[in-house]
Structure 1
């Protein structure tokens, strides 16, 4: 676990931890079926609603529990270790809630939406990618079109996170028909307002239960549902950090789960030959050190964001973006390597399905980590930033 530092909300955080563990038990029981059938982790998400996990980050004045960024990240780790797909659904939902909390407080409509998320445990999905932009969420082809006191959107979304099961979708588009592709806004579209025509199927190697099919998304909604701040600010000040850090916490959970199975296989070997050191023991110790390093990397990233979250200048600084990018790239690399090493340690039993030492599902799921906002794209963005900023070579901030 990430073992987040407890604050004034320690009671709520402790309760959320126990509730997340209850959800994890449900998620783990269905994880293989979710993966095999490529289906939405309905049981786990229903348990999240029953345990009231979907509104945890919503401030208490809007009916939530006001959990910190680090406390939410810890729950991503718990759920990711039980079922990667269920954990990713939770993480993706909380990424959108982070944007809502950080950038919706000045808007009466978005404040009311926060209350409804907390009260009704609404699940929020994401539509930020689009045909024709190559996975670049900071550019849009479609536009928000004014229509009286409403706006209309028509988006060819290559993926919408669990689009068929979301209660609302946050979609990006150009701010206006004459706006540049990078001049974007984000709008909340509720389920009853969304027209969804499926255009592709989410048939993937891993993370199969996120069911992120492609859709033609159309909607006409009140203009008040558009976030008042430009998407550029939302991306820089909340979405960048929450995506990279919640995903990294999730990947840490997957890596820990796989290595736990490898450890169990080494222990089983030790019981069979009590007078000999099992062949995988030395590899296990090295992999455990790598897991500890991954934990430190993620916790450091979370701590940096917690320090910066109330300082817009720091959130917009190039150095902050470089640091968050570094966490994403390095966490995804390390997590993949740890799960691959877990397979080596467990050997053929790790390779086979349907046994306690199997890590096949975790391996297939973790291979998505370098591809979710592709590391090459992240590194290219970092390269541009480094042309205009200093390297961070200080040990202390």
Structure 2
């Protein structure tokens, strides 16, 4: 009887070994949301359906990408790919990014060579550029605004009439550094390593004055330029090109888009950059190199780039479909490690603007001190201090 049981178990194991077993998915983390996430998921699904590879890419959104920047992260949960902005590429060592083959640029003739400069360190490329843009613009609701303001003074002038109708003037995530940056860059060019400057003090003061004058609340968060703006609570919102598709879906022909209003006579200069595919798990890159690189070619292909423009309303990079439309008044954000450190430092400093009488000189000094501390000790020891 025991021999029959043993034979049965062996037979089951043998038959089971002949049955196909689904390959473990390739995990891709991305920072897209709304319409962008839906389009990206569709593109990933089409690549999987091509049948060229038995392994399938599993795209996951809604994740706090910055959590993976801790070098000691458990390798068992490390994603295989990331779709991230170029200002994170400077952390290529902390992210364990795999080098893109040196022949890539020569083979992918549709993508301009110069965009790779932002992704190159010590002569090696660490990302596949997919999209341009990532810049800020001014949204306005045409139901509330007939002629968009070109200056902040014009905004103030429109505010009283709007408030009399129960409509708030403007919203954006006030304490987020990327939204503060245009005010800083309107005064002087921004260098991530040099944050304790006269320009920083002046920009902090001017930014805080927006809350004192009642133009915006310092507590305005991510909902101010998304759901609350879409509901008509705000007449204006500062948002990014990544949100145009969502805004058009919600507002239709009531959505207007304009340049950021001038601050006095000075234009507000948004940042801009690239959206890139990177490979963040050296073991799986070595094992599935052909799949990873083919997915990169797929995202850079003329067909997908064209659809990114027409369906997701993003800025493609492929020469055949890229438009001459500029990024508004925008400057290229460096992809150095210092840039990411500066975001963390400014986020801490901006939180002090909630106070009624902040010391702008002290805040600028604090921002510089936090930057230097992170530069000395690394992300691991500062990850919980945001």
* TM > 0.5: no
Q: Which has the higher helix share?
A: 1
Quick check: which has more Rg, 1 or 2?
2
TM-score range relative to shorter protein? under 0.3
Q: When the two structures are superposed, what TM-score results if normalisation uses the length of structure 1?
A: 0.26
Greater RCO structure (CA 8 Å; 6+ sep):
2
